[in-house]
Amino acid sequence: MTKIYSINLKSYSFIWVAMLLSLKLISQDIHFTQFFRNPLLVSPGLSGVFNGDTRLMFQARNQWREIPVDYKTVTLAFDTKLPSFVEDNGFWSLNGGLNYDLAGDSRLQQTGLFIGGGYTKKFSPKVFGSFGLNISGNQRGFDPGALLFDRQYDPSINGVNASAPNGEGLWDLSKIFFDAGFGANIRIQADQTGQLVDLLNKRSKLDIGVGVNHLLSPNTSFFPGAVSKIPMRLNPYLMGVLQISNNIDLTSNLIYVTQAAYNEWMASAGFRVYLDKNPGNTFAIDLNVNYQKREIGNRIAPSLEMLYRNIRAGFSYDINLTKTGVLPTGQADPEIFVHYIIKKIPRFRTVRVCPLI
């Protein structure tokens, strides 16, 4: 059914909120409940911090499906360790990807391509430090064709004439801008022969770090000559695994996000059970409970993950705990992710000559 917006103040304000055209409005950044499965979005400092050579990542979310301005968000990303031809205590990594977000009747969308890199340094067999930086090019736009305005009300037909001028043509329909992010991470892990890997018999680890996004505070206003900058976003985090038995781990993740006047806490806790730990045939199941404390309502999200060989996949379902504005209690949002790890045969750093030849 076509939506008709009356001329009362509440509806008129809702149009501008849906289109995010207000000069003072801070738009919602791309975010996920399973934030710990989107490491490059959390912090560029997590680039290359994984067991393997190349990591391919996909994550998708459908948020606020029961109100007119629902969000559809998709991320495709990769990070890979660059080959090192000298013996040292560190390595470089390269990463990149695409973020896409779509919201509301105006089809407000943002597409961003990013590329970056990082460096990881071994301080001891149990401690590694990393930093990373990425840059992005972004396009943001909307389609007013599906919106109806008060000036299109026609008394002669006692309804809305969609072909009538809307009187709201003082905007650009597309905006291109550039941005950058920075991050740092400290990995503390069980002694794993001095390598940044997750051995199946020594799985305890803790990542402590911070991500800083929107370093350039880009102007995203659709009004020519106007300024509406994205504020810098800061998110410190903790992500850990504690091995408590031969086949069971406890998992826990915590992040705090602050951006201008907006802030939120997101946390998760659960356990992982290994059903098969044979190299090349690893199989494990994760059960987690995720909790979000936000200004626009608290949410809880149970999630299920599966690790099989080099593939990790998961599903979560957000449940709104409080009614805030137009957000109903019990409204639920699905989210999925898939990771694929590529592991190469290790390169020999030295060549030994057989004494018999």
CATH of 9-342, one of 3.40.50.80, 2.40.50.140, 2.120.10.30, 2.40.160.40: 2.40.160.40
Strand extents, DSSP E, the chain: 54-63, 71-81, 90-103, 108-124, 127-141, 153-154, 159-160, 174-189, 205-213, 233-243, 248-259, 262-276, 283-294, 299-308, 311-320, 332-342
Q: What is the mean pLDDT of residues 203-214?
A: 96
pLDDT tens by residue, 93-112: 999 999 999 887 777 889 99
Q: Is the pLDDT of residue 5 over 90?
A: no
Question: CA-CA distance, 238 to 244, in Å (whole number)?
Answer: 19
Residue 263 in tokens = 């802030």
Q: Is the pLDDT of residue 125 over 50?
A: yes
3 state SS of 144: helix
Q: Which residue has the higher pLDDT, 193 or 34?
A: 34
Q: What is the mean pLDDT of residues 221-225?
A: 83
Domain residue spans in the chain? 9-342
pLDDT tens by residue, 345-355: 665 555 555 55
Q: What angle do CA 260, 46, 234 make, to 5 degrees?
A: 10
Whether 61 contacts 41, CB under 8 Å: no
Of 20-34, 60-74, 101-115, 177-191, where does mean pLDDT reach its minimum? 20-34
Q: Is the pLDDT of residue 297 over 60?
A: yes
pLDDT for 4 equals 35
Residue 309: alpha-carbon gap to chain centroid: 24
Whether 3 contacts 105, CB under 8 Å: yes
Residue 148 in tokens = 């109806």
- Which of 26-35, 138-147, 297-306 is most confident? 297-306
Q: What is the mean pLDDT of residues 141-165?
A: 74
Backbone angles phi, psi at 278, to 5 degrees: -65, 130
Q: Is the pLDDT of residue 332 over 80?
A: no
Whether 232 contacts 212, CB under 8 Å: yes
3 state SS of 321: coil
Question: CA-CA distance, 46 to 280, in Å (whole number)?
Answer: 25
User: pLDDT tier at 336 (50, 70, 90 boundaries)?
Assistant: very high
Q: Is the pLDDT of residue 319 over 60?
A: yes
Q: Please give the share of the chain, as a percent, with pLDDT higher than 70.
A: 76
Q: Is the pLDDT of residue 8 over 60?
A: no
Which residues touch 263 (CB under 8 Å, ≥6 apart)?
256, 257, 295
Q: Which long-range contacts (CB under 8 A, 24 or more apart) does 83-87 make?
A: 83/347, 87/349
- List, in sequence order, every residue forming a beta bridge with 316; answer none if it has no partner: 303, 335
The DSSP result for 6-57, as a single string, is -SSHHHHHHHHHHHT--TTPPPPPP--TTGGG-HHHH-GGGTT-SSSSEEEE
pLDDT for 7 equals 34
Residue 213: which of 26, 43, 94, 27 has the closest Cα?
43
Amino acid found at 202: K
The b/e string for 103-127 (b: 16+ C-beta within 10 A; e otherwise) is: bbbbebbbebebebbbbbebeeeee
Question: Whole-prediction pTM value?
Answer: 0.83
Of 215-229, 260-274, 305-319, where does mean pLDDT reach its minimum? 215-229
Q: Is the pLDDT of residue 10 over 70?
A: no
pLDDT for 190 equals 87
Q: What is the mean pLDDT of residues 226-254?
A: 95
Question: CA-CA distance, 249 to 274, in Å (whole number)?
Answer: 9
Residue 83 CB neighbour total at 10 angstroms: 10
pLDDT for 221 equals 87
3 state SS of 206: strand
Q: Is the pLDDT of residue 229 over 50?
A: yes
Whether 286 contacts 204, CB under 8 Å: no
Which residues touch 96 (CB under 8 Å, ≥6 apart)?
77, 78, 113, 114, 115, 116, 134
pLDDT for 334 equals 92
Backbone angles phi, psi at 297, to 5 degrees: 120, 140
Residue 257 CB neighbour total at 10 angstroms: 22
Q: What is the mean pLDDT of residues 230-259?
A: 96
